[in-house]
């Protein structure tokens, strides 16, 4: 994280949510809202967005997951592609 924060071409926004986004690849305009002060908004012009949410993998208990080989998560899909090269 320190290397990313210290990089001259990268800006990291903590405690921030995206409240607006428009544009196309290479030319985006995004409005960011501070979660601690919702009135504080910043508009950023950029070409690429990396959104890190801190998500966790979901293990479903329905829709025949684990019972039918045709039902799998995106992580299962990735593993199958790595192992077999085909799904």
Q: What would the pLDDT profile of 9-54 be if each residue is shown by its tens digit?
A: 888 888 999 999 999 989 999 999 999 998 999 999 999 887 777 7
**Phi-psi group of 64: left, alpha or beta (phi > 0 → left; psi -120 to 50 → alpha; rest → beta):** left
Q: Look at residue 56 and tell me whether its pLDDT is greater than 90.
A: no
Phi-psi region of 19 (alpha: psi -120 to 50; beta: other; left: phi over 0): alpha
| Structure confidence at residue 51 (pLDDT) | 76
pTM: 0.54
DSSP H helices, the chain, are 2-6, 74-84
Inform me whether the pLDDT recorded for 1 exceeds 90: no
Given pLDDT bands bounded at 50, 70 and 90, which one contains residue 58?
Answer: confident
Tokens representing 73? 């998560």
């Amino acid at each position: 994280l320190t290397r990313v924060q210290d990089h001259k071409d990268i800006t990291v926004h903590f405690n921030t949510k995206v409240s607006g986004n428009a544009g196309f690849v290479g030319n985006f305009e995004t409005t960011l809202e501070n979660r601690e002060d919702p009135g504080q908004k910043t508009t950023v012009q950029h070409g690429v967005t990396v959104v890190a949410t801190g998500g966790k993998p979901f293990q479903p208990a329905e829709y025949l997951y684990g019972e039918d080989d045709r039902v799998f998560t995106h992580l299962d899909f990735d593993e199958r592609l790595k192992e077999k090269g085909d799904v």
